[in-house]
Amino acid sequence: MKGGTRNMTEFSDLWEPQADPEMWIVAAAAVLALLLVAYGPAWRVSRNIVTIAHEGGHALVALLTGRKLDGIRLHSDTSGVTVSRGRPEGAGMVLTALAGYVAPPLLGLLFAWLLELGRITLMLWFSLLLLAGMLVMIRNVFGVVSVVTTGGIIFAVSWFAPTDVQAAFAYFGASFLLLAGARPVIELQRLRAMRQAPSSDADQLSQLTGVPGLVWVFVFGLVALASLVLGGNLLIPAETFEAPSFSWTAP
């Protein structure tokens, strides 16, 4: 991948490995992602990305387990709902309910793995493929606007931006999903403690399996934490921890 602005003229470019960005780019992307997660006003906007990944996780697993997907709705309050039909119980329903909260951190981990392999462009275009598949099933205007806007930004960066900008954007996206995986879990348990989320994913899983909802919240949090640790390790360029080499010549 050469410097400057590049156009995606050949699909073979998707498979070409790219050099790791400089450490300051990786660090800046992680700091920006952390600010968006930690700062309340920014989180209320950026949380829409997590909702897209959350509902996309429900939808993908519903299809993979043989359920019929009726549609997805994304709302301006960053909530969402995915409606599927099939057996009201059994492994397919359990996996579908489980997929929502674990999807964002696991997607971040997948992105981190692709970036560790140097597949920056592939990671961006894989994101576009996921969004395109999800767009087909969106059933409300706000959802369409959210997905199209997100996809448009990713497309513009992958098609027009210089390589350093592409790398920074890709590392920011992966870092954000990894860091943002835990906050919705904390918010979920807070709502459950105040009895304001009686139909949450954790409570649906409790009804389906007989396992207490708090245990499922713990599972969500464990997946988010494990993904953050593993993904963070993948995102740090390998040469960062290489021991310095010394040479010595006898007099």
What is the tens place of the pLDDT at every residue in 64-112? 999 999 999 999 999 999 999 988 889 999 999 999 999 999 999 999 9
- Provide the pLDDT confidence category of residue 2 given band limits of 50, 70 and 90: very low
Q: Which of 13-22, 34-43, 153-162 has the lowest mean pLDDT?
A: 13-22
pLDDT of residue 14: 65
Assigned domain for 20 exists: yes
Determine the longest span between alpha carbons in the chain, in angstroms. Answer: 81
In which region does residue 10 sit, left (phi positive, over 0), alpha (psi from -120 to 50) or beta (all else)? beta
- Average pLDDT over the chain reads 89
Q: Which of 129-138, 145-154, 210-219, 231-240 has the lowest mean pLDDT?
A: 231-240
- Provide the pLDDT confidence category of residue 47 given band limits of 50, 70 and 90: very high
How many whole angstroms separate alpha carbon 220 and alpha carbon 233? 20
Assigned domain for 8 exists: no
What does the block give as tokens for 198?
């009686």
Residue 50 contacts residue 195 (beta carbons within 8 Å): no
- The number of C-alpha atoms within 13 Å of 169 and in the hemisphere containing its C-beta is 22
Place of tokens 């960062």: 240
58 has a pLDDT exceeding 50:
yes
How many whole angstroms separate alpha carbon 165 and alpha carbon 157? 7
Identify the bridge partners of residue 74 per DSSP, sorted by sequence position: 80
Which is more confident, 18 or 62?
62
Q: Tell me the per-residue pLDDT of 132-156, one tens digit each, with 9 for 90 and over.
A: 999 999 999 999 999 999 999 999 9
Other C-beta atoms closer than 10 Å to the C-beta of 218 total 14
Place of tokens 């994913």: 201
pTM: 0.88
Assigned domain for 104 exists: yes
Q: Which domain holds residue 34?
A: 15-235
One DSSP character per residue, 7-47 reads ----GGGGG---PPPPHHHHHHHHHHHHHHHHSHHHHHHHH
Which is more confident, 147 or 195?
147
Assigned domain for 99 exists: yes
Assigned domain for 200 exists: yes
164 has a pLDDT exceeding 50:
yes
Assigned domain for 64 exists: yes
From residue 36, alpha-carbon distances to 94, 169, 190, 194 in Å are 31, 14, 20, 26
Assigned domain for 115 exists: yes
pLDDT-above-90 percentage for the chain = 79
7 has a pLDDT exceeding 50:
no
How many structural domains does the chain have?
1
pLDDT of residue 18: 80
Residue 178 contacts residue 228 (beta carbons within 8 Å): yes
Assigned domain for 240 exists: no
Residue type present at position 93: M
How many whole angstroms separate alpha carbon 232 and alpha carbon 112? 8
Q: How far apart are the first and last CA of the chain?
A: 45
